[in-house]
Each structure stands twice: as C-alpha cells, then as structure tokens.
Amino acid sequence: MMDMNRKHDTNFAVRAYGKSELALLYFPDASSGHTALNHLMAWITRCKELRSKLEAGGYVKTAKYFTPKEVAMITDYLGEP
C-alpha cells in the first residue's frame, strides 16, 4: 500500500495537486500550464500500466485536480518532478 503522506529526498510532497500545477513541476519551462499538462498527459498515455492503474482507481479526465493517490501512482511510474 502506498504511503500518501510520504516525503522523498526532495521537497516534493504527495498531496492533491491541480493538474496544471503538477504538470508545471514536471515541465517548468513550458510556455503555459496548458502546454505542461499536455506534455504530462502524453507521458501518462504512453505509460500504459500507469494509465490503466489510474483508470482502475477512478481517475476522472475532467477533474481539475490529481488526488494524492493519483499523484503517488504518477510519481511511482514517472519519478518525482
């Protein structure tokens, strides 16, 4: 089971993040939050196992936030931003 309150060696905390907020952590040089989110979602789409786990966990495409559980899954597969 994932520890939702874990902190890693960096200052990154697993918590709820706005989708663009998290995407900008992964892509800080993106021209906008929208562009960063497009890049992050492309990564997630290419990682079929991650995408399947998110969908099985109740991921809602139109939600404005990633839940702490979703953030933990994302960082488990993609690493911390």
49-67 residues labelled b (16+ CB within 10 A) or e (exposed): ebbebbeeeebeeeeeebb
pTM for the structure as a whole: 0.85
pLDDT of residue 11: 85
pLDDT of residue 10: 67
Nearest residue to 16 via CA among 65, 57, 53, 78: 65
Measured in degrees and rounded to the nearest 5, phi and psi for residue 17 equal -130, 140
pLDDT in single tens digits along all 81 residues of the chain:
444 444 445 689 999 999 999 999 999 999 999 999 999 999 999 999 999 999 999 999 999 999 999 999 999 999 999
